[in-house]
Structure 1
């Protein structure tokens, strides 16, 4: 296990196919991270998907002379596979879900920012748990960035009520992400 990724890839490319297990061991922390972040799929299957992706990446590598470039190439391949699997998983989950909201489908998400994508999905799930006026108020606060007075007038509630809904939601976010 003391060899660098670059040396292991060279050995693998020179015909020692058993070395791939050592490469997979070196990349295991990143694979485990992506398996943990996946939506609601079978963890063992997802782990196998990432190991297969790693094998494909190693086989397609043309340049493996520098350690940093090897690690970057492999981690980028795993990240791209994560984004693809996450998107498929999310589509599958949403197709089974009864709740469909046109408002959320209009939001454009940059795939290269997967952390923002996951956070946005968490926000959507938190908002969907609310009902009626609170749901409308939170959508206006988060996605339309409207003032309390405008939201209150739209929903025929007091400005203080809108502020209270905002504070309660921020407290929920604080508990979820910082505690």
Structure 2
């Protein structure tokens, strides 16, 4: 029983899918707990995919990994870290969605079609539109956008604020 998890890991790596299913079943309570906490549709699948990646990357040649306890602890901690990462990503998305709705103050009824939303970007410069896309479509932080574009955070914020001002003027002061 001591090397049961190690044996299942080896069998999985040799192509035995039943061993993979058994390992997923072992960690099912933990995966269910974290997916329930995030209350998101794809969280369970994301955590299972992460589990499979972890199983593939565990260094089995390391002598410390031979023990059942270390393998289970390693995998459980890895799943927990992935949950934290997904949670932060969800919070970031929620914050950006809230910021966008508060900054623009446009209700869904104001936009007659999806094309009007696309037309909003026509009043922006290429740089402003690109920054808005990175911030509000890809949910990057101001720092991430600044690093990616190799400009300062202040420049990103200034472009974002100019773009929001143009969009507000376009829709609120027709």
Higher helix share: 2
Q: Compute the TM-score of the two structures, normalised by the length of structure 1.
A: 0.48
Pick 1 or 2: higher relative contact order, CA cutoff 8 A, min separation 6: 2
Q: Compute the TM-score of the two structures, normalised by the length of structure 2.
A: 0.50
